[in-house]
Structure 1
Amino acid sequence: MLNRSLSTFMNAFTASDYTMYPFSTQNGKDFQNLLSVYLDAVFFPCLREQDFWLEGWRLENENPTDPSSPLVFKGVVFNEMKGVFSDNERLYIQHLQNKLYPDHTYSVVSGGEPLAIPDLTWEQLKQFHATHYHPSNARFFTYGDLPLEPHLKQIEEEALSRFERIDPNTEVPSQPHWTAPREDHVTCGPDALAPDPARQNTLCVSFLLGDITDTFEAFTLNLLSSLMISGPNSPFYKTLIEPKIGTDFSCSVGYDGSTKEASFSVGLQGMAEEDTEKVKQIISQTIDDIIKDGFEEERIEALLHKIEIQMKHQSTNFGLSLASYVASSWNHDGDPVELLRISDSVARFRKELEENPRFLQDKVKHYFKENTHRLTLSMSPDQAYLEKQAMAEEEKLRKKVQDLSDSDRQDIYEKGLELLAAQSKTQDASCLPALKVSDIEPSIPLTPVQIGSAGSVPVQYCEQPTNGLVYFRAMCSLNTLPEDLRLYVPLFCSVITKMGCGALDYRQQAQQMELRTGGMSVSTQVIPDSTEMDAFEQGILLSSSCLDRNLPHMFRLWSDIFNRYSSQSAGDDGGAGAGDLQRDGSGVRFMKRVAEMSDLSPVIRTLSRIKIQLLNPENMRCAVNATPQKMGDTAAQVYYVRGFVRCVEIFTGRIKAAHSFNRRKPLSVLTLQEVNFQPCQMKTFFQLPFTVNFVSESIRTVPFCHQDYASLSILARMMTAKFLHGEIREKGGAYGGGARMGSGLFSFYSYRDPNSVQTLSAFHRGVDWAKSGRFTQQDIDEAKLSVFSAVDSPVAPSDKGMGRFLSGVTDEMKQGHRQRLFAVSHHNLVDVAERYLGAGQRTCGIAILGPENDAIKKDPSWIMK
């Protein structure tokens, strides 16, 4: 259906105790089509044994066509879950849940413990589906501007009316509370990228809280969690993070309301084993201190302000977010409508706090100090962990194989050939509903913007229904930044809004940002030129938002952030120590070196040099998206725009006053030659402690406005759906794979893939398939639908006009691309496959991330990392 629809989202989520099947589209006919397919797939699936072999697990000859090759485990979900548990953080979070709720459904892995998956039978799966995936056990959620009644009628006719009500007996019981706290320990694989091999331990204390269907109690505990652990002003940040006992909070931290009874966790990762008792004592003492001292009123107001911002902010996945927000509580018979009445919860919270100033402290005492259902879980690396996991899988396989008779082996071989044959056939999708290319709107809606200036700074203003929020961006070009500073830019972006500003230290700064804004961030940008290959703009993007009333405060914070250290750093030589780090070559290794440094003063001086270089008003452009004050009052609109422009002028004026700049015109684009980079063939293997691979191959093609860009976009989508999906996922067993076109590159990819060089071969066969022209007009039309679903995906009011602001792509350029997409023909696709992909494979870039690979080691053409 991805290729027969204009869907903007289509997937399925497996939580610990429910499965959600969400989809979205902006087309009414498409919504009916997708609803029909989803109802059929969820309630009336075929669940063929062959599907179970493919998607679940199977025993199969390593080479399906050679009955003498060894038997191995295969299966998409089997490989997926092996990939999941290659991540130590995911492993820890899973153990924590299993051990905190040991007496029912949360004690097992909902997605499947890899070595338990081969114990599942096809018959068990069908029986489980019949009782659990039944309308009697289902809830339906719709969001949008289409009438509700037709949805209900379709659901009734196509699903509900065809079942008799049953009792699925799926209610999750409450976890029996412990009478005394417990401790446990687990092991994991060592982290090859850890700055200090001796500090790879994790410790976390987790508390069982109340039932999530108590809406107000859940709201209170969630807010209390934020007060305890969020930001540098929180008690646990001060006691656990600032002493640098560990590298960060434990991967499971804060309030978790995804299970029937919520939990709260706090701890550290990246710590030494000898600090275990110390961390336990700190956690206990911090809880005592909170009960004694409570929280500052300003911090509580900052969090309530954050909730106000979240209620007003509009995202493109708002409906999906709402569905996810209510899903857990509703699944346990909570009231979903009550959950959405957030303003009522805020009002009640204020009232409770007014009537009892110790309201929050009493909650801390009850849920944390006096709570005996408390788990302390530690995790440490075991050098033999991966070897033990491999041995356990081998032993599981040996036991499965040893009892097989000759006829069993023959049956496995024949089933493997059957599956291979089925995978090689083109599926008949004619029964599925589909939109036509003619259903696609021929033109895009225009996004009007006003272009002006604030002093010498260009400003783009876009009026949008933003619910009274103002969204601000400033782009500062990096194209004139000296080469020796560029490696530090990502670090600069990470810390610049967290180091204090003006008269505020970093704690006060964080408090003011929460009180006055919806967040302030700085990020790196590399923007390819839309008309020319090998040309791009490097920059940093300042992003923030605030309520209309707080606009001057937000700009005061930005001004203070960039003026804080100017007088101190003007005469510093930040080059000391920088050259050695620069020559380390890799960004990852660079950050590892920084993390290991005992004296960071050379780095801080370098960051100050970057700030002076970047914050040049002559090198800056700004954009704002906001709600007009009065849509019908032109004078009011002009006044509002002027007010914003005045804020920008003050902001840039303060920067000018603090720094002296070389007044030079920034380059609009930077070429690859100017940064000493020449496209060339390269094959790189990154050996990482994974059990599966991540594979990619990229080929240099054309920029966005080129005539062939549209054809390459359609080709990438068609190759994914009609060739690569079958080769990489269905035959190869990877969790996913395909091709995409963007930023002048045609890229192939696969992830959670049991294969490596075999997948590269599949990429090459995909190119041969495309060059041969073995695809139909129906295939092309479906690919166009899929591409247009991305091209026409909704854009939030906060992001309207951002394509023009960041990369210079105007509505006229987008419309030209749209017309070229409509015009793509069979001849165009074969032509670009031959000219770009066929020739390009001789100079492509290839990368594989994965476990040790003997075949690659023996090939001298690979660069090992």
Structure 2
Amino acid sequence: MALTNGFELLYDTPLPEYRGVGRRYRHVGTGADVFHVRNDDPENLFAFAFRTLPADSTGIAHILEHTVLCGSRAYPLKDPFIRLVKGSLNTFLNAMTYPDKTVYPASSTVEKDLFNIMEVYGDAVFFPLLRREFFQQEGHRLQFTDGRLELTGIVYNEMSGVYADHDSVAGRIVHQALLCDTPYGHDSGGDPHAIPDLTYDAFVDFHATCYHPSNALIFLYGDIPTERYLEFLDARFLSRFEASRASAAAAGQLIQPRWSDPREFTVTCPTDGDDGPTSITLSWLISGERTPEELLSLELLAYILLGSSAGPLRRALIESGLGDDLSAPTGMETDLREPIFSVGLRDTDVAHKKAIESLILDSLSRIERDGIDPALIESSLRKVEFRNREIKGGGPNGLRLMGRSLRGWLHGGSPEHTLRFEEPLQRVRNAVAAEPRYFERLIREHLIGNTHRLLSVVLPDADQRQREAEALSTWLGARERALTPDERARIEADQAALDQLQTTADPPEAVSSLPALRVADLPREIERVATAVNAIGGVPFYTHDVPANGIVYIDIGFDIGDLHGDLLPYVPLFVDAFGELGLPGRTYDDVITDIGLKSGGMSAFHEAGIPADGSITADRRLFFRVKTLESTLSEAVDLLADLIVSPDYSNARRVSDVFKEARSSMSGSVLPSGHSYAAVRAGRAYSDADRYGELWHGATQLLFMSSLDEDGGRLAEPLARIGDAVIRRRAALVNVTGSADACEAALPHLERLVAALPDGEAPTGERSADSPPADERLVRERLVDEPFPPAEALIVPSNVCYVALAMRGAWFGTDDHVHEQVLAHLLRTGPLWESVRMTGGAYGVSASARGMDGVFGFWSYRDPAIVPTLDAFRAALTGAANGVSPDDLEQAVIGVAGRYYRPQSPSEKALVGLRRTLYRIPDEVRDRNHRVLLDTRVDDVVRAARRLVDAYDDHTVAVLAGADAVDRAAAVIPALGERRIQLPL
């Protein structure tokens, strides 16, 4: 047996879908399993993955994921993770806990940087210190605050927020109830009621069992030679282990015994009123083999039934009027050992429970009996094929492939089996051709005839938060009264030890041992996107010659700067309605199916941005996008033109359904994205772009949507007026991205589209006397130039807080802005992390310098406090004004520089190149900023901090939190009590 650095090559296999090969190795000494997708992508990625099946809901896997990154044998620092973040060019760096695994992935385009991270991550997962103090910091602890016993901990606080989020509750109970006899029946993230039961000894034992190399799956991706990885892994980590005597829970434990009869499960979720959301969901556990074609068939079935508004099951639910939107768990989940199919409604009423269940079952029977439209099947097949072919953005390609490979690999399959899609897709196509009712059979076998079915209900409970707070208070009171003097002394000693550990600087020798880049290691060339500017039919025409795997991206934009103020709040609904309505003589489901047949997708979006030319007024634009294969360019562009010019608003019921789905979706986004709602609310006092952003994406939009009548006829009128006002040739632009040949091939089709646009002066869309007005107070608040309140509280049903502060910052293109970027990085990876996260217990905290808006801001995420966090914001700035260390500065410069080299997908390049042109951001300015960044000195950052400290009193605060937390904060900051807005969730 030939060995390479202690590894045996099991096999290699071609992976033409990814222009590479897959190589699988086994470490002979430990049994560690390694799979490398080797191709020519310079954005390399590694991931350590471990099977971590929970035996209870104490959150042991989640707390361990946090704590292994709090110091290791080679790097005994308080938080080597955040030190990596400080000075790395990583394109992804994180750790994630799933129901059955924990994964530690990282990626970078710089080989030295990637191996630095791998060195620290590998030492963290295999040789963590697991100090009791950090178990208490990250997990749970009792401490005395103002003389009273308190329960806190970062994971405890995080999960308290998760358990107050309706959609999270709806998703969790499907796993826990449908898979009740397996580890999936427990919450690997942790139930706040169970987290305090986790002991330190059990925590340490879990690591010893689950984090041995014999339980490790190591995924590698990119162009670094495999041999370098294998040598590194063996020398640094694996050679120090022997074969494991312990083993993680066997995958066989994940097979759920089947029910002979369906079951029902009901839970409640806290809300601030009696009209909170209700979700009703029907879920099935799917039997069968986990072959690639089986999993792909199930995904396709879910897409056919639910993946678009043309899906017959989705359509039946939405058109029923029994709810506003699909419930959060809706879809096919294939990452678990056994797939789960779920479908249901959100924003419904518990009185509709049986009606919804009957509707779903009857609809499935009808679809199975009457058959599925072959055009819809073909449209779905093409959509899945396109999705797998597209070079996606939003994260490293290796990260997506890691997730796909673990889908089968974790459960005993081969990692490449769930990576491949071309052969499985062709086999599915062949099966459909041989058996025309292929998907109907899957419905019959896996759904209609499947008794392992769960009806789950999530009800709002206006009293739950108070009950839980009182129960916790009672428990803490009883616990405190029962404490012996020795127990009290132990809590106080633990608290003192943790406080000392958190406030004591890491030893210089430990800090210097951490592998790090230096400024001299940085590339000198920044990322660029070439943009050619021409015109077609008098309309600006921008092209980007980018290899895109045979795909073309086309954006048609319109200036909406002159749109009448009465219509501004309706712009998000106009965007949501694009592609969801019919065309003259064609129904909406027919149109949506056609979109799937002729393109990889069509969408619309809107944005406001301030040009970098000294302006303080935001440009506003509306965009329509299509992505399509070169072979379907003509058909796709013609359909796009029809959808832009001739949408059919006559189906009032359909317009109403689109509105209700959009409103429900926005309501469900508030708690998971509470920091974004707070930050844009605070920033609108200083940025015209944030004012529009808050109107369109913030609390104002949510309040506006909640104020509207659901009557589709009344809603259609302002949408039609927006189209009449903005869809004009003179306000248009065209943006095309793809290969040079594809851009040239698109030209004649785009000339037809431009010619189809209405010409002449565009009306402003001023409201007619009989059309429905927008909420005039909300619109006036946005349009009138008046001072915004210094502090606002957005009241939501949450046990945690989201705290944001904004103030005037430097503008893009100035040295001051570059120095503020470095300062912000120093703050969020240094004093803010230590004070708000480590000490304060918040899940996240950040500072940002947004030069395009002229705003410097802060926010916290899932934070147990408000006032201490605001104090920490100011203290962090003041501390930086008194000086920063040269080493910290250099690491911050490197951390900020990473954005100049970050790889981008073709889709991202399309918009980045366009925006740099529209907002006047030439590469010459970016080059200059890059030089200023690399030359930044300590005095530059100190001056930036002092400038912000001097201007600090002119700031705005926005807090999104529960009423009780706001009440406590208002006792210290009265302005928070003066401006309270209840959000309708």
TM-score, with structure 2 as normaliser: 0.81
CA contact (8 A) 1:623 1:805 kept: no
CA contact (8 A) 2:166 2:277 kept: no
Superposed, 1:695-844 pairs within 5 Å as 695-742=803-850, 743-773=853-883, 775-800=884-909, 801-835=913-947, 837-844=948-955
Letter in 2 for 1:771: A
Change (3 A) 1:556 1:123: same
CA shift, 1:599, in A, is: 2.8
Q: Look up the SS of the partner of 1:691 in the other structure.
A: coil
CA shift, 1:806, in A, is: 4.3
Q: How many Å separate the matches in 1 of 2:500 and 2:955?
A: 32
CA shift, 1:471, in A, is: 0.6
Superposed, 1:119-130 pairs within 5 Å as 119-130=197-208
CA shift, 1:642, in A, is: 4.5
Provide Cα deviations, 1:690-729, integer angstroms capped at 9, x if missing partner.
Answer: 0000001011122211221100000000111221110100
CA contact (8 A) 1:533 1:744 kept: no
Provide Cα deviations, 1:507-549, integer angstroms capped at 9, x if missing partner.
Answer: 1111111111121111120112223252221111222210011
- Aligned partner of 1:91 in structure 2 is 169
Q: Look up the SS of the partner of 2:556 in the other structure.
A: strand
- Aligned partner of 1:321 in structure 2 is 400
Provide Cα deviations, 1:665-700, integer angstroms capped at 9, x if missing partner.
Answer: xxxxxxx99954356562111111100000010111
- Aligned partner of 1:848 in structure 2 is 959
Q: How many Å separate the matches in 1 of 2:649 and 2:227?
A: 66
Unaligned runs of 5+ in 2: 1-83, 652-694, 765-779
Provide Cα deviations, 1:409-468, integer angstroms capped at 9, x if missing partner.
Answer: 122112212211221122242221000011111222443222111111111111111011
CA contact (8 A) 2:794 2:958 kept: yes
Tell me which of 313, 324, 327 is aligned to 1:250.
327
Change (3 A) 1:850 1:602: same
Provide Cα deviations, 1:349-374, integer angstroms capped at 9, x if missing partner.
Answer: 12212222222222211111211111
Query: Greater shift after overlay, 757-766 or 647-656?
Result: 647-656
CA contact (8 A) 1:736 1:752 kept: yes
Letter in 1 for 2:728: N
Superposed, 1:431-830 pairs within 5 Å as 431-532=513-614, 534-564=616-646, 586-594=700-708, 597-629=709-741, 641-656=743-758, 661=762, 675-677=783-785, 682-742=790-850, 743-773=853-883, 775-800=884-909, 801-830=913-942
- Aligned partner of 1:27 in structure 2 is 110
CA contact (8 A) 1:61 1:72 kept: yes
**CA RMSD for the aligned pairs?**
2.4
CA contact (8 A) 2:149 2:477 kept: no
Letter in 1 for 2:756: R
- Aligned partner of 1:189 in structure 2 is 270
Q: How many Å separate the matches in 2 of 1:220 and 1:191?
A: 42
Q: How many Å separate the matches in 2 of 1:337 and 1:62?
A: 53
Q: How many Å separate the matches in 1 of 2:503 and 2:699?
A: 44
Provide Cα deviations, 1:648-673, integer angstroms capped at 9, x if missing partner.
Answer: 2211211126x76479xxxxxxxx99
CA contact (8 A) 2:612 2:813 kept: yes
Letter in 2 for 1:714: V
Query: Greater shift after overlay, 255-264 or 169-178?
Result: 169-178
CA shift, 1:768, in A, is: 0.9
CA shift, 1:748, in A, is: 0.8
Change (3 A) 1:445 1:860: closer
Superposed, 1:290-369 pairs within 5 Å as 290-316=367-393, 317-369=396-448
Change (3 A) 1:104 1:709: same
CA contact (8 A) 2:626 2:640 kept: no
Q: Look up the SS of the partner of 1:419 in the other structure.
A: helix
Provide Cα deviations, 1:320-377, integer angstroms capped at 9, x if missing partner.
Answer: 0110122232111122212122111111112212222222222211111211111111
Q: Does 1:160 align with 2:238?
A: yes
CA shift, 1:25, in A, is: 0.5
Letter in 2 for 1:696: A
Q: How many Å separate the matches in 2 of 1:297 and 1:811?
A: 49
Identity %: 29
- Aligned partner of 1:54 in structure 2 is 137
Letter in 2 for 1:162: R
CA shift, 1:285, in A, is: 0.8
CA shift, 1:797, in A, is: 2.1
CA contact (8 A) 1:101 1:107 kept: yes
Provide Cα deviations, 1:360-412, integer angstroms capped at 9, x if missing partner.
Answer: 22221111121111111122222211122223323443454343211211221
Letter in 2 for 1:26: T
Q: Does 1:397 align with 2:479?
A: no
- Aligned partner of 2:659 in structure 1 is none
- Aligned partner of 2:20 in structure 1 is none
Q: Look up the SS of the partner of 1:656 in the other structure.
A: coil
Q: How many Å separate the matches in 1 of 2:135 and 2:205?
A: 13
CA contact (8 A) 2:845 2:859 kept: yes
Letter in 1 for 2:701: G
Letter in 2 for 1:432: L
Provide Cα deviations, 1:67-126, integer angstroms capped at 9, x if missing partner.
Answer: xx1111111111011011110110121111101011120111101101111111111110
CA contact (8 A) 2:333 2:341 kept: yes
Change (3 A) 1:199 1:689: closer
Unaligned runs of 5+ in 1: 64-68, 570-581, 630-639, 664-671
Query: Greater shift after overlay, 804-813 or 523-532?
Result: 804-813
CA shift, 1:212, in A, is: 6.5
CA contact (8 A) 1:213 1:335 kept: no
Change (3 A) 1:840 1:474: farther
Query: Greater shift after overlay, 698-707 or 105-114?
Result: 698-707
- Aligned partner of 2:308 in structure 1 is 231
Q: How many Å separate the matches in 1 of 2:860 and 2:278?
A: 31
CA contact (8 A) 1:39 1:159 kept: yes
TM-score, with structure 1 as normaliser: 0.91
Q: How many Å separate the matches in 2 of 1:353 and 1:39?
A: 46
Q: Does 1:80 align with 2:158?
A: yes
Letter in 1 for 2:816: D
CA contact (8 A) 1:212 1:262 kept: no
CA shift, 1:176, in A, is: 0.7
Query: Greater shift after overlay, 38-47 or 250-259?
Result: 250-259
Q: How many Å separate the matches in 2 of 1:694 and 1:823?
A: 35
Q: Look up the SS of the partner of 1:246 in the other structure.
A: coil
- Aligned partner of 2:284 in structure 1 is 207
Q: How many Å separate the matches in 2 of 1:229 and 1:71?
A: 49
Q: How many Å separate the matches in 1 of 2:277 and 2:782?
A: 41
Q: Does 1:377 align with 2:490?
A: no
Q: How many Å separate the matches in 1 of 2:236 and 2:475?
A: 43
Letter in 1 for 2:109: Q
Q: Does 1:7 align with 2:123?
A: no
Q: Look up the SS of the partner of 1:371 in the other structure.
A: coil
Q: How many Å separate the matches in 2 of 1:607 and 1:80?
A: 40
- Aligned partner of 2:42 in structure 1 is none
Q: Does 1:105 align with 2:183?
A: yes
- Aligned partner of 1:264 in structure 2 is 341
Query: Greater shift after overlay, 610-619 or 794-803?
Result: 794-803
Provide Cα deviations, 1:769-805, integer angstroms capped at 9, x if missing partner.
Answer: 11111x1110100101111123322111222224424
